[in-house]
Amino acid sequence: MKMRFVFVFFVLSRAALAQENLFTKENGITITGFSSSYGGGWAVENLVPELAEMKENNRPVSSYVWCSADNQFPHWVSFQFKQPTWITTFVLNNAIEDEDSYPGISAKNIELWIKANGTSELKKWTALQLQRNKNGQELKIEPVEATEIKLIITSNWGNPSWTEFNAMGVFDDGTRPLNVASELKIKKEVDLYGIYFDFGSAVVKPESHALILQLAEFLLQNPTTSLHIEGHTDNVGREATNQALSEQRAQAVLEQLVGMNISRKRLTAAGWGSQKPIADNKTEIGRSRNRRVSVAMVQ
């Protein structure tokens, strides 16, 4: 029988408290369905905590935990917004303190499905592999006005009995969908967030195809234009590792375009690691904006 008593004490900074997490009871998010729930201190309802209680007790969202009742994958939970809500950023959490007795219990591979306002069906927005036993994994997505979100966990890190996932942060950083061709023609460069990678990986996820296709179509319609592709990271981790990853990601996007019949002669790639931030690396939202692929026109 699963018996654990985990006491976690955190102090939130003023900056953290000032960021409004949309996934709280006060913001009207509700759970409309789920695959299973262990209950008690690990009930699925923990995924939508009360903001007032968090502030009163100085508890971060990551200290609220959902545990499955069994290990029959996939595990899933569906959420509904009270009204259409813009979202741009997820902060994913899958670790709490004192987990040594339950190795491999944290979620590993997940999918995020979103129903956009005005549509009738959920769409798979992205799938990714979480880093093991780590909170604060920031993901910036192409902005979407959402009515529903479904989280699907397809595997964990090896625990044979249960899977856990901590409550997550969902934010709107104010950015809105862009038309790549228009932005390039006006600004000559653009930051892209619809190109997805697993954390620490340079393998382009299939969900990135639509945005990369926009780049390819732009180049086909502008045959005298070339593109310079740059990869950027936040400042978490070793700079040498970030530098290498940013270079690899930029090159991976270049190879995707070559695969769409764009001449390699029209493309260049470079990585800058964390050297060119566009937001504050001290915040979760800022770090998610700094991890990006950018492209610039070259005449």
| Per-residue pLDDT reduced to its tens digit, 265-298 | 999 999 999 999 999 999 889 999 999 999 999 9
* Bridge partners (DSSP) listed for residue 87: 144
Could you tell me which of 5, 14, 29 has the C-alpha nearest to residue 171? 29
Ranges 92-101, 166-175, 270-279: which has the least confidence: 92-101
Region 150-169 average pLDDT:
96
In the CATH hierarchy, which top-level class contains the domain 14-171? mainly beta
The answer on pLDDT for 58 being more than 70 is yes
- Domain(s) of CATH 2.60.120.260: residues in the chain: 14-171
The pTM of the full predicted model, rounded to 2 decimals, is: 0.84
Provide the pLDDT for residue 17.
Answer: 33
The answer on pLDDT for 106 being more than 80 is yes
Region 202-215 average pLDDT:
94
On average, the pLDDT of the chain sits at 90
Q: Which residue has the tokens 């045959």?
A: 223
What's the angle, vertex CA 127, arms to CA 121 and CA 128, rounded to 5?
A: 160
Dihedral pair phi/psi, residue 250, rounded to 5° = -60, -45
Rg (Cα) of the chain, in Å, rounded?
20
What residue type is 227 in one-letter code?
A: L
- Domain(s) of CATH 3.30.1330.60: residues in the chain: 180-298
Cα torsion 190, 194, 200, 201: sign = negative
Provide the pLDDT for residue 6.
Answer: 35
Quickly name the fold that domain 180-298 has.
60s Ribosomal Protein L30; Chain: A; (3.30.1330)
